[in-house]
A and B are shown apart, each in its own frame.
Chain A
Amino acid sequence: DTEVTQTPKHLVMGMTNKKSLKCEQHMGHRAMYWYKQKAKKPPELMFVYSYEKLSINESVPSRFSPECPNSSLLNLHLHALQPEDSALYLCASSQDTVDDTQYFGPGTRLTVL
């Protein structure tokens, strides 16, 4: 059983909707990550929170907004998405960014209509 949980498992949204993806880890890790994965591609890193400090992939559009309420929780707020944003969104955590063996959640499959 994974110790990184993600909700929801599936999400369908329109381009004008606002939704949030949630991630929680129960391993006491201090680094958490959001990845986007398109079909037949490796995961692409979007954001990293390490000790609650944010690092951003500058290619990620502003319609994606991460939030880290505490070291165990990570949210990804979605607003005005485009159909090309449809993908599998994976959350991961690691001890920190030095010991960065990443453990992944089950992912959220997002479809933008």
Chain B
Amino acid sequence: AQKVTQAQTEISVVEKEDVTLDCVYETRDTTYYLFWYKQPPSGELVFLIRRNSFDEQNEISGRYSWNFQKSTSSFNFTITASQVVDSAVYFCALSEAETDSWGKFQFGAGTQVVVTP
């Protein structure tokens, strides 16, 4: 069963617009971790952030911000004032700490962000 849903397949914006990527997860574990990764055209997956299930504080890092809401099982990611270099595929991922199985770490399907000048 898909545990991480990224419903947006592709988002296209013009430079300087804000863009929000949605991530909805599903788990029965009380302890879990959520991640965002960026994959530019070069292919390398770049780690952006990890949040644990006990820390619902939103986080801001430069133009990036993350909104974690356990009530809606969402971990959304916003890029403010987008730039062409933000063009990439962004993956949300879930790791279930209490799950001792092969599938404890799962990626969502990814959202392609295209930023045009």
Taking beta carbons and an 8 Å cutoff, which residues of A are in contact with B? 2, 40-43, 45, 55, 57, 88, 90, 92, 97-98, 100-107, 109
- For the complex formed, measure the closest distance between the CB of A11 and the CB atoms of chain B, giving whole angstroms: 13
Q: Is the interface of A mostly helix, strand, loop or mixed?
A: loop
- For the complex formed, measure the closest distance between the CB of A112 and the CB atoms of chain B, giving whole angstroms: 17
A109, B109: Cβ atoms under 8 Å?
no
A42, B109: Cβ atoms under 8 Å?
yes
- For the complex formed, measure the closest distance between the CB of A81 and the CB atoms of chain B, giving whole angstroms: 19
Interface residues on B, range: 20 to 34
A45, B44: Cβ atoms under 8 Å?
no
Given A90-B44, A105-B44, list of 19 further CB < 8 A pairs?
A: A2-B44, A40-B110, A41-B109, A42-B107, A42-B110, A43-B45, A43-B91, A45-B105, A55-B102, A57-B102, A90-B45, A98-B97, A100-B33, A101-B35, A101-B50, A102-B47, A102-B105, A104-B37, A104-B47
Tell me the bound Cα distance from A107 to B41 in angstroms: 12
Known pairs A42-B107, A42-B110, A98-B97; A106 contacts B47 (CB<8 A): no
Closest 9 CB pairs of A and B: A42-B107, A104-B45, A106-B44, A107-B43, A101-B50, A100-B95, A88-B43, A42-B110, A100-B105
Tell me the bound Cα distance from A107 to B44 in angstroms: 6
**For residues 26 through 51 of chain B, which have their beta carbon under 8 Å from a beta carbon of chain A?**
33, 35, 37, 42-47, 50
A-B contact pairs, 8 of them (CB 8 A): A42-B107, A57-B102, A90-B45, A100-B33, A100-B105, A101-B33, A106-B43, A106-B44
> What are the residues of chain B within 8 A of A40 when measuring CB–CB?
110, 112
Q: CB-nearest residue of chain B relative to A101?
A: B50
